[in-house]
Amino acid sequence: MVKRTLFFGNPAYLSTKNDQLIVKFPGDENAEKSLPIEDLGYVVLEDPQITITNGLLMKLVQNKTAVITCDKQHLPCSFLQPLVGHTEQTERIRYQLNASVPLKKQLWQQTISAKVSNQANHLLLRSKNALKLKRWATEVKSGDLGNIEAIAAAYYFQNLFDDDVVEGFSRNQKGIPPNNLLNYGYAILRAIAARALVSSGLLPSVGIFHSNKYNAFCLADDLMEPYRPFVDSLVFDIVNTGCNIEELSKNIKSELLKIPTIDVQIEGKLSPLMIAMSRTTNSVQECFAGSSRKVLYPDF
């Protein structure tokens, strides 16, 4: 089932009654809106003056709804997740923690090959040369010892945006726009990956490649890599509308919050991105358990 994404950018009071999310706005106490909690996949809280009850938080977590809060720069900065996301969580985490180094290297090889291939297909969609990326996607070795991911990313972003649209663009978190749009989109994608991992009974913090001790979402960062071109494509379309991208406007955020429901192709069939991500995380769990050797990733 495709879940809804709610975004709150203004002061609001959020509570619950009869398994419904109840929304009230300051100065308009008579106006009350309600939505079924079971329909919600993501709730993004941006305004610092939002008040939310503990009862609602409890029900959202029990529904496996990702509650995302934003910082002063309006970028997602935290993600609320349940302590128990799957009935077999203990066993699945044991498999994850005991995964061998060769297995992790093979999974990372598949991940980077899928990412570079999707980057190539995105460039082709934009009528740009992708021969190098196509070749590099086939040359990724176990563990990506040749660091093809970084080489491909540099080439990809150098050629993605036309100079007459975005002059001198390079991918940098603190760089010129549309880096701000990419940052926001990737943060949403990260939350989608983390939510799917928890639902699959895995620890988002224990990765197959990323291993920074200060990063609580290493595995989420690993598995979202092949999905990044879908965010890039959405940002590319926004940029080409000619709108002001210096700041993240409400309309731009509204477009980026459609990421969970973007249609992607996985195993030859179209599926909302959030559903595809769940298939990806479940396939990784099967690899950890030894019942499979292949991670399912979408094809751009």
Residue 31 belongs to a domain with what CATH number?
3.100.10.20
CA distance 25 to 9: 11
Co-location of 172 and 45 in the same domain: no
Q: 255 a known binding residue?
A: no
CA 297 → CA 39, 120, 215, distances in Å? Answer: 25, 15, 23
Domain boundary residue among 21, 55, 80?
A: 80
Co-location of 57 and 93 in the same domain: no
- Residuewise pLDDT in 10s, the chain (300 residues): 678 899 999 999 999 999 999 999 887 767 789 999 999 989 999 999 999 999 999 999 999 898 999 888 888 888 888 878 788 899 999 999 999 999 999 999 999 999 999 999 999 999 999 999 999 999 999 999 999 999 999 999 999 998 877 888 889 988 999 999 999 999 999 999 999 999 999 999 999 999 988 888 999 999 999 999 999 999 999 999 999 999 999 899 999 999 999 999 999 999 999 999 999 999 999 999 999 999 999 999
Q: Roughly what angle, to the nearest 10 degrees, separates helices 101-125 and 228-239? A: 20
Report if residue 295 sits inside a domain: no
Report if residue 294 sits inside a domain: no
Domain boundary residue among 80, 105, 139?
A: 80
Domain boundary residue among 52, 80, 108?
A: 80
Report if residue 296 sits inside a domain: no
Residue ranges making up the domain that contains 258: 89-289
Co-location of 111 and 218 in the same domain: yes
Q: 74 a known binding residue?
A: no
Co-location of 50 and 121 in the same domain: no
Domains identified in the chain, total number: 2
Q: 225 a known binding residue?
A: yes
CA distance 283 to 291: 9
Report if residue 298 sits inside a domain: no
CATH number at residue 252: 1.20.120.920
Report if residue 17 sits inside a domain: yes
**Pair type for strands 76-80 and 13-17:** unpaired
Co-location of 140 and 20 in the same domain: no
Report if residue 280 sits inside a domain: yes
Co-location of 32 and 54 in the same domain: yes
Report if residue 18 sits inside a domain: yes
Give the tens place of pLDDT for each residue, 57-91: 999 999 989 899 988 888 888 888 887 878 889 99
Co-location of 219 and 280 in the same domain: yes
**Pair type for strands 51-52 and 66-70:** unpaired
Strand, helix or coil at 127?
Answer: coil
**Pair type for strands 40-45 and 28-36:** unpaired
Co-location of 189 and 106 in the same domain: yes
Co-location of 134 and 48 in the same domain: no
Co-location of 127 and 248 in the same domain: yes
CA distance 80 to 299: 29
Co-location of 140 and 61 in the same domain: no
Report if residue 300 sits inside a domain: no
Co-location of 270 and 230 in the same domain: yes
